[in-house]
Structure 1
Amino acid sequence: MKQAFILRGLPGSGKTHYAHTLADELVSGDESRYTICSTDDYFTDEQGHYEFNKAKLPQFHNLNIARFINAMAEGMPLVILDNTNIKKWEFIAYVSAAHAMGYQVKEVIVGEVKDKSMQHLYAKRNQHGVALKTISKMAHMFEW
């Protein structure tokens, strides 16, 4: 059974950790059997330094969906989308593509979106320097 997981959650909620744990559980961490697609990857250089550039966001989202579709076209058994996906429109194309390619799709909300104390924790631990104010705004805009 081919599976696509759409992860959703605030910065710092643990989406990337969840993606890797999921891959370990479902395909024993065998990298030939899963692909994790994160737009954040495109903001990271070869030395592992992350530098967000808002102007490149549309381009990098397009590259990420292409990677997601290519992984499914190659028959990858497990494909995971690791983005914040605050609004439903942000991931609907991924869901449509997965269904069209015969994948079972599961949406997973990682972490607590509305819990203010968790938002404080996420602001402290997110690796991209997203401020509490931005995280709180994203939580307010989150579509269920």
Structure 2
Amino acid sequence: MKQVFILRGLPGCGKTHYAQTLADELVAGDESQYLICSTDDYFYNDAGEYHFEKYKLPQYHNLNLARFINGLSEGIPLIIVDNTNIKKWEFIAYSAAATAMGYQVKEVIVGEVKDKSMQHLYAKRNTHGVALKTISKMAYIFEW
């Protein structure tokens, strides 16, 4: 069975860890059997340093969606979308494409979105320096 998991959650909640753990459990980490699609990947330079540039976000989201669709067309058994996906419109194209290609789609909310103490923890541990104020705003506008 071909599966797509669309992860949703605040920065620092553990989506990337969840994605890798899921791949390890479902396909024993066999890299030929899974693809993790994260827009964050495009913000790393050749030296492996992360540099977020807000103006590039639409371009990089499009590149990530293209990578995802390529994975679907290649028939990769497990594809995981590792983005915040705060609003439903942000992942509807992923879901529609996967369904059209015969994949089972599961939406997974990682972590606690509305818990203020967890938002503080996420602000401290996210690897991209997203501030608590931004995380709290994302939690406020999160669509269920």
Give the TM-score, by structure 1 length.
0.99
Aligned pair count? 144
Q: CA RMSD in A?
A: 0.4
| TM-score normalised by structure 2 residue count | 0.99
- Give 5+ residue unaligned stretches, structure 2: none
Structure 2 CA distance for aligned equivalents of residues 136 and 18 of structure 1: 21
Does residue 18 of structure 2 align to residue 18 of structure 1? yes
Structure 1: unaligned runs, 5 residues or longer? none
One-letter code aligned to 2:138 = M
* 1:85-132 deviation per Cα after TM superposition (whole angstroms, max 9, x unaligned): 000000000000000000000000000000000000000000000000
Q: Which residue identity does 1:84 align to in structure 2?
A: T
Q: Distance in 2 between matches of 1:51 and 1:128?
A: 8
The aligned counterpart of 1:143 is: 143
Q: Which residue of 1 aligns with 2:34?
A: 34
AA aligned opposite 2:131: A
Equivalent in the alignment of 1:57: 57
Q: What residue in structure 2 maps to residue 104 of structure 1?
A: 104
Shift in Å at residue 48 of structure 1?
Answer: 1.3
Residue number in structure 1 paired with 2:88: 88
Query: Matches of 1:48 and 1:127 in 2, distance apart?
Result: 13
Runs of 4 or more consecutive aligned structure 1 residues displaced over 6 Å after TM superposition:
none
In the other structure, the counterpart of 1:2 is: 2
Q: Any idea what SS the aligned residue of 1:71 has?
A: helix
Amino acid paired to 1:37: C
* Cα deviation code 1:55-92 (max 9, x no counterpart): 10000000000000000100100000000000000000
Superposition deviation, residue 45 in structure 1: 1.2
Identity over aligned pairs, percent: 81
CA distance in 1, matches of 2:107, 2:47: 32
